[in-house]
Amino acid sequence: MPEVKLTAEVRTEFGKGAARRIRRADKVPAVLYGHGTDPIHISLPGHETLLALRTANALLSIDVNGTSQLALPKQVQRDPLKHTIEHVDLVLVRSGEKVTVEVAILIQGEAGPETLVVVDRNSVSIEAEATHIPTEITVSIEGLAAGTQILASDLLLPEGSTLDIDPDALIVNITGAQSEAALEAELAAAEAEAGIEPTIAEGDEVTDTDESATSEDDEQS
């Protein structure tokens, strides 16, 4: 993953009022910490930071007073309505250092006919070098038959990366799709159990047993 360079300014004012002033200036309040150093409170350029953090686990090169340091986003607070960034926690990393991150699962291809694809996990936790974190892990389901399961141990991880979850964790499950007749039978059984009268389709013949019995009695008399 390429580095995204951002130039930061050191903050000297704190609190909600100061944070609002920073946002009004199209900047993002942030804190940079890690490796046993004291936290550095900074502000980042708003638009550039928003673009950079569209990528999960973005590797950032933060320039503070002429000194660049590598960092990963640890926590990003967003406005739930405007979707703007309210605050960012950044953790310092070094080249070659191993970090644990969540990486998205990308499903590619189409499973075999009459199958249903159930994705059990949309992401997976891995340990990877801070400067070589994959943006996603691709899982191909092309032509897979019903009954196939893809486990965490089946994932193709980048060189130098290892799983940080149970290798037997289920990622994707390929099952047999129900036929239309089976679905209708299941629905009918559920309706019968709930006491719902079946719907009469247009054109179906309706036989009124009470009216037929009355007509027979009239003819006999």
Cα separation of 72 and 87, whole Å?
Answer: 14
Cα separation of 8 and 147, whole Å?
Answer: 52
**Predicted local distance difference test score (pLDDT) of residue 202:** 55
| Stretch(es) of the chain classified as CATH 2.170.120.20 | 99-176
CATH of 99-176 among 2.60.120.10, 2.170.120.20, 3.30.465.10, 3.40.718.10: 2.170.120.20
Sheet holding 123-129, edge to edge: 136-140, 98-108, 123-129, 162-163
Cα separation of 201 and 10, whole Å?
Answer: 72
Domain range 4-93, CATH class: mainly beta
User: In sequence order, which ranges of 10-137 are alpha helices (DSSP H)?
Assistant: 16-24, 46-52
Nearest by Cα to 103 from 64, 157, 144, 50: 157
**Predicted local distance difference test score (pLDDT) of residue 203:** 54
Averaged pLDDT, 72-90: 92
Averaged pLDDT, 147-169: 95
Nearest by Cα to 151 from 165, 161, 162, 136: 165
Parallel/antiparallel/unpaired status of strands 98-108 and 136-140: parallel
> Is pLDDT of 89 > 80?
yes
Nearest by Cα to 105 from 126, 123, 119, 120: 123
Looking at 63-77, 101-115, 155-169, 201-215, which range is the least confident one?
201-215
Q: At residue 108, what is the residue type?
A: Q
> CB burial class (10 A; 0-12, 13-18, 19+) of residue 104?
middle
Distances (CA, A) of 217 to 13, 206, 207, 208, 210: 98, 20, 17, 15, 11
Q: Are 78 and 143 in contact (CB under 8 A)?
A: no
DSSP 191: H
Q: How confident is the model at residue 221 (pLDDT cuts 50, 70, 90)?
A: very low
Cα separation of 16 and 22, whole Å?
Answer: 10
> CB burial class (10 A; 0-12, 13-18, 19+) of residue 210?
exposed
Partner residues linked to 176 by β-bridges: 115
Cα separation of 109 and 180, whole Å?
Answer: 24
Averaged pLDDT, 192-205: 65
| Stretch(es) of the chain classified as CATH 2.40.240.10 | 4-93
> Is pLDDT of 178 > 80?
no
Looking at 43-57, 108-122, 170-184, which range is the least confident one?
170-184
